[in-house]
Amino acid sequence: MRVHFGPAGNPPSFQAQGHKSSLDMPAWLKAQGLDAYEYQSVRGVHIKEDTARKLGELARENGVALSMHAPYYITLGTADAGYREKTRMHLLKSIEAAHWMGASPVVFHPGTGGGEDRVATLKRAMDLLKEILDEAAERGYGDVRVAPETAGKPAQLGNLPEVLDLCTVSSRVVPAVDFAHLHAAGGGSLTTVEDFARILDLLESRLGRAALGHLHVHFSPIEFTGKGEKRHRTLLDEGFGPDFTLLARLLVERNVGATIICESYDRQAEDALVYKTIYQQLKQQFSR
């Protein structure tokens, strides 16, 4: 199985070299030794169709696995009719842009947790997601997968079981497993190989072995409080987990295929290269 590595968005090092357009990213990433890119539309989908199609073409030419992050404004489980329509609009626009790019999956945050009645919130989220996917298919965008991302705070909708429940809505829904978020939401819960193994075991048991053939992963060091995620850190900051070596060992041993998107603050490309080196070294050791 192949494992791709790359950044979320355009890092400062890319801009420091004089680049301004995301169209320059695929060739730049290839030159850095990276082969994945998560295009960011977290403040709204503004990319034009011709630009999106060109970005997808350049990504394919440079061997870069292209995904996309939808706006932060999505709240799937809301009971408010106005917010439901805004959520529908943001996710549909994201799916449309991803279709133009040939990008997959579209990563999104499920939204708020709904207080005490999380069961009802999750049910509304699943129903709305199905409606959106049906509408996307009617518009000709049925080729695009979407990926609810595991949340960094316990109060948010999107713990791992909830994300896996969302994945039962359609075969076009796959998990975006943010190990930093899981670590933070669990109060620093990922400290051993066994901790990571339990996550992969649950993914396989719920979604089947095929889910481990193209797993979409977010990874970075993270700072957290008693309420969960505070902010993403970098590998230059000491004392922040989780440790990628523990996951990399399992990726190698279990032959997991994945795209690893690094979200380290302002060092997402540099830290992605470190993660790639760790993985390659472990893979070489395993093959001896």
Work out the average pLDDT over 234-240.
Answer: 97
pLDDT bin (cut points 50, 70, 90) of residue 287 is confident
pLDDT at residue 115 tops 90: no
Closest to 152 in 3D by CA, of 83, 91, 223, 200? 223
Closest to 209 in 3D by CA, of 151, 149, 255, 245? 255
Stated length of the chain: 288
pLDDT bin (cut points 50, 70, 90) of residue 114 is low
pLDDT at 113: 78
Answer whether 275's CB lies under 8 Å from 219's CB.
yes
Answer whether 261's CB lies under 8 Å from 219's CB.
yes
pLDDT at residue 286 tops 90: no
How does pLDDT run across 166-189, given as a tens digit for each residue?
999 999 999 999 999 999 999 999
Work out the average pLDDT over 242-250.
Answer: 98
Domains of the chain and any CATH numbers: 3-287 (3.20.20.150)
Q: At what angle do helices 193-207 and 244-253 cross, to 10 degrees?
A: 50
For residue 81 the two structure tokens come to: 């009719």
